[in-house]
Structure 1
């Protein structure tokens, strides 16, 4: 029997690399990303097909990603690609909204739509990587937070829509994680970056593995991954 097939967006990011490595142990993984150097490293792994893509252009304007066309089944689809910049309602401009919403919400929705038939054929699993910012109010980080609130709504609606096809839908929401994205956000605030305080991306990949490995009669709908010591609780 062939290995189950997984598609991972944002595969060259800090979380994405670890997700690909974890899944590649027992899945054939299509790793989608833009960083050519990281893609070359991922391509050296067993069971990994590295796909160089500008995912917004290819999915929203190009009619889809060529390497994914014709897939008969998709067992796991992980949406890890995202953008994050600090903006308030006052400072954000239209392009800031479009960039965040396109990559963080519209691309996951449209790529899922494009892969619905192979997902249904496999009774597969869709996992949306959300964020602690997807809950509550996050002033000063408004645009990113709004996109993650919308992503949560997308996941919850998709779960209901696809339940009759046996497709499972999950949201995994990490807190602050040691990635280039978080480093960039901290630099925008002129804050000190302290990686020892943040979640190791390996742990996020482990949470996704927990979701993917759920038994056949269940689905893990929501998982929050928090630092062992919350940042607000540190002296």
Structure 2
């Protein structure tokens, strides 16, 4: 039976890889995108009715945008794969970059999850937070990004405990460095050459998330960490 999945970050990387896997089996997709221009870029690959304009970076306007988005009344899964990163020392981190990372990586998933809870409760659905190795260990230059991901883990833990009685399952996925456009950007910020063959693929991470989404109803995986071989 076809299920309905909301996936953020489906424009590239892990989110795109997962959306393609779900589309291949003809599940229904709801894909938030930041603008109408982004809809035009993705409409050839994904049906436009599933492309919903929600700017996750504008968290002040997001609650109103969510109320106007007419999201489905039933959602089997919500997968948070969108994210941004801007490496900098604490001393030099611009205010704008710090706030953007916290808003996109942490505040937006909190607001979106809250809005989707009634739809998830109706299906005893699953929420997946694509976290990061930086959500487990914070290294130099990663303070803002790691803070957002540590916070995302805390939010997932609280949500898991709160929604267990409603049958909603919550999983945090912690991939190490993955071959994605974001990883290419990170290498550019680090001043290093980027070779995607050195890292696990976005498709491998997406396959792991798909396994989580397809678990039997009597089992859950609270957390899973992924490392390149």
List aligned pairs for 1:147-162, cutoff 5 A. Answer: 147-162=148-163
The total of aligned residue pairs comes to 224
Unaligned runs of 5+ in 2: none
Query: Any unmatched runs of 5+ in structure 1?
Result: 229-235
Where does residue 5 of structure 2 map in the other structure? 6
Query: What's the counterpart of residue 136 of structure 1?
Result: 137
State the shift of 1:87 in Å. 1.5
Contact 1:81 1:104 in 2 (8 A): yes
Q: What's the secondary structure of 1:81's corresponding residue?
A: coil
Cα RMSD, aligned residues only: 1.9
Q: Does 2:45 align with 1:42?
A: yes
Task: Kindly provide the CA deviation profile for residues 7-33 of structure 1, in whole angstroms up to 9, marking residues without a partner as x.
Answer: 001110211111101122142111222
Q: Deviations over 1:63-102 (max 9, x none)?
A: 1346752522110000011101102211113222211110
TM-score (norm 2): 0.91
Mapping for residues 15-94 of structure 1, pairs under 5 Å: 15-24=14-23, 25-34=25-34, 35-36=38-39, 38-43=41-46, 49-57=50-58, 60-62=60-62, 63-65=64-66, 68-69=69-70, 71-94=72-95
Structure 1 residues 174, 93: closer, same or farther in 2, change over 3 A? same
Question: Comparing 213-222 with 31-40, which one deviates more in the overlay?
Answer: 31-40
Partner of 2:44: helix, strand, or coil? helix
Q: 1:138 to 1:41 in 2, by over 3 A?
A: farther
For 2:69 and 2:124, locate their aligned partners in 1 and report how far apart those are by CA, in whole Å: 17
CA drift at 1:36: 4.1
Alpha-carbon distance in structure 1 between the residues aligned to 2:80 and 2:174: 12
Aligned equivalents of 1:52, 1:68: Cα separation in 2: 8
Contact 2:31 2:52 in 1 (8 A): yes
Describe the SS at the equivalent of 2:151.
helix
In 2: Cα distance, 1:51 partner to 1:42 partner: 14
> How far 1:139 moved relative to its partner?
1.1
Return the alpha-carbon distance in structure 1 between the equivalents of residues 88 and 171 of structure 2. 28
TM-score, normalization: structure 1?
A: 0.89
Counterpart of 2:107? 106
Structure 2 Cα separation of the partners of residues 152 and 191 of structure 1: 29
